[in-house]
Amino acid sequence: MSSIAENIAAVKRRMADACARAGRNPAEVKLVAVSKMVPLDRIAEGARAGLKILGENYVQEALEKIRALDEPGISWHFIGHLQSNKAKMVVEGFDLVHTVDRRSLAKELDRRARQHGRILPVLLQVNVGQEETKSGTSSEELGSLFQYVSSLDALRVRGLMTLPPFLDDPQEVRPYFRHLRHLLEQLREKASSPEDLTELSMGMSHDFEVAIEEGATLIRVGTALFGSRPT
């Protein structure tokens, strides 16, 4: 096997072990391979080795890859901070947006999706650590943002996403993951279609096992699959 294929197998074993510890079905957890700044040939190698979801942070870099990658069955997720003026390109290229964090962005995504004649699934990003350097709505304002986005014709809220504080010990991140799960549970109690709110995008290379134990359905893993990226 190639090194990327070996990495994929190792990550999937760790995912399965975390699911076993939590009594979860491994089919409930999807692997989003974070491919930002990864060369196209390595991404293609990963796709041939079984990667099905690719997550990108930078719109223009991602669109070049989407156009160039000739691998069937790939779903593209946008997982980076999104400026409203890039909404049109995201609507045209991506299957799910993880990072809707404000009304103005949601309004523009809705406008562009309607122009494009499509329904766009989105996640709402929550800044669970209240960090000034990170995007995301606050826990207190989440309900209001959810109501607004839910009222838009061309967007469908599928769940929540977070980037918690980076802590050396993954166990110390657990309360942030648990908090996001509780927030989703609260939204489901009030939502008109709670069955649509199924996704929790949380956990990265160093802490995804804890995230799975706390209910993650989408883990965003880059380094553990592709190795270190250039800075």
* Model pLDDT for residues 88-132, shown as the tens digit of each residue: 999 999 999 999 999 999 999 999 999 999 999 999 999 999 888
SS3 call for 228: coil
pLDDT score at 204: 97
Cα-flanking dihedrals φ and ψ of residue 217, to 5°? -110, -15
pLDDT score at 231: 61
Mean pLDDT of 153-178: 97
CA-wise closest residue to 118 among 147, 80, 87: 87
Res. 70 pLDDT band, cuts 50 70 90: confident
Mean pLDDT of 11-18: 98
SS3 call for 6: helix
pLDDT score at 96: 98
pLDDT higher than 90, residue 77: yes
pLDDT score at 132: 86
pLDDT score at 155: 98
pLDDT higher than 70, residue 1: no
For all residues of the chain together, what is the average pLDDT? 96
Residue 80: CB atoms within 10 A of its CB come to 20
Whether pTM exceeds 0.75:
yes
Q: CATH number of the domain at 3-225, out of 3.30.470.20, 3.40.50.970, 2.130.10.10, 3.20.20.10? A: 3.20.20.10
pLDDT score at 229: 75
Rounded Cα gap, residues 166 and 116, in angstroms? 37
